[in-house]
Amino acid sequence: MKFAKLGQTDIRVSQVCVGAMSFGQPGSMHDWTLDYPQSKRVIQHALDLGINFFDTANVYSAGSSEEYLGRALKENHVARDQVVLASKVYFNPGRLSRAAINREIDGTLQRLGTDYLDLYIIHRFDYETPIEETMGALNDLVVAGKVRAIGTSAMYGYQFANLQQVAKDHGWASFQTMEDHYNLLYREDEHELIPICRQQGVSLMPYSPLAAGHLSHPDWQTDTLRSQTDRVAMGKYDRMESADLRIVQQVHQLAAGKGVAMAQIALAWQWARGVTAPIVGSTKASHLDDAAAALDVHLTDAELASLEAPYVPHPIVGAIDHNPAAGTVLIDEKK
């Protein structure tokens, strides 16, 4: 396993992050999540591979994702300082108000069975709460020792820049990571959000690095329970562009030529483009094997260009729009 530091912190993480949305009581959020025995096996396998970075959220499977992760680490006798735990806040009553943040962090810590988080991430941008209130509350958690570092997730570049400026103006903790939607089939954040992150030394830890599995199968089709029931993933990739299919085929050809899995090519591209730790949502141990092996896959400049050349602009996915007439809407859900 290879390791890197998060942002400008001293937090050392494996360059593969395990996405814990795959863990949790089936049916509480998704039908395809793993029950506890299955989750524990995948978590144990991740640890055996040297992976120390786990990403979850307060809303994943109604909190049972956090519970499963904390329980599995405890039962595997993992020392707390040997793992890096990240969780998120936003999709809860009060969004990112001070009261909500203070309430939700305590619930997260209790479910994980720990007295601090390594990384606390705001899940989206909150249009209703003043950004000074949100950033001040997050800073207080760092000062109190409940959180080592803070991060953020999918939003517009100007929103991220404004949040960071408020932190700078007040001498507060600033964001060290960005968890955005980024893969070979969706690269819109390259225009603004990613350049801002790079300018500020903020680490990228993208979600959906394999485009909901579409970068892992040459015919685009997947036959998993998730592919059949995950409405969000289907909404992102249900309208195939011919350019997208050409990218998938190019991934397939490169993988065949190198004798590796398609997923390894898609992940190797992430690291070649400066990503610190893509989040791999795993429902099988083999998914993590592919992710770990991908660290040894090297792509030449010519191969990178061949993967990127067919790309065409896509509608924004992952951020939230605020329309007072229609309410706050996830761009993911727009058709």
Quick one: which H or E segment has residue 321?
strand 320-323
Chain Cα centroid distance, residue 147:
18
Query: 218-232, 245-259, 320-334: which has the highest mean pLDDT?
Result: 245-259
Over residues 162-167, the mean pLDDT reads 98
What's the predicted TM-score (pTM) here?
Answer: 0.92
Q: CA–CA separation, 201 vs 177, rounded Å? A: 9
Residue 88: Cβ within 10 Å count: 25
What are 203's strand-pairing partners?
177
CATH number of 3-212+270-298: 3.20.20.100
How confident is the model at residue 328, as a pLDDT? 63
Q: Is the model's pLDDT at 131 over the cut of 50? A: yes
Q: CA–CA separation, 218 vs 256, rounded Å? A: 11
pLDDT band at residue 327 using 50, 70 and 90 as cut-offs:
low
And the tokens for 136? 């001040």
pLDDT band at residue 242 using 50, 70 and 90 as cut-offs:
confident
Would you kindly state where each structural domain of the chain is located, as residue ranges? 3-212+270-298
Over residues 8-32, the mean pLDDT reads 94
How confident is the model at residue 28, as a pLDDT? 86
Q: Is the model's pLDDT at 239 over the cut of 80? A: no
Q: Are 100 and 134 in contact (CB under 8 A)?
A: no
Q: CA–CA separation, 20 vs 127, rounded Å? A: 27
Residue 229: Cβ within 10 Å count: 12
Phi and psi at residue 226, in whole multiples of 5°?
A: -65, -45
Over residues 11-17, the mean pLDDT reads 98
How confident is the model at residue 238, as a pLDDT? 53
Catalytic residue among 60, 90, 182, 237: 60
Q: Is the model's pLDDT at 333 over the cut of 80? A: no
Q: CA–CA separation, 23 vs 283, rounded Å? A: 8
Q: Are 176 and 9 in contact (CB under 8 A)?
A: yes
Weakest-pLDDT range from 125-139, 208-222, 292-306: 208-222
Q: CA–CA separation, 271 vs 260, rounded Å? A: 16
Radius of gyration of the chain (CA): 19
* 257: helix, strand or coil: helix
Q: Is 60 considered catalytic here? A: yes
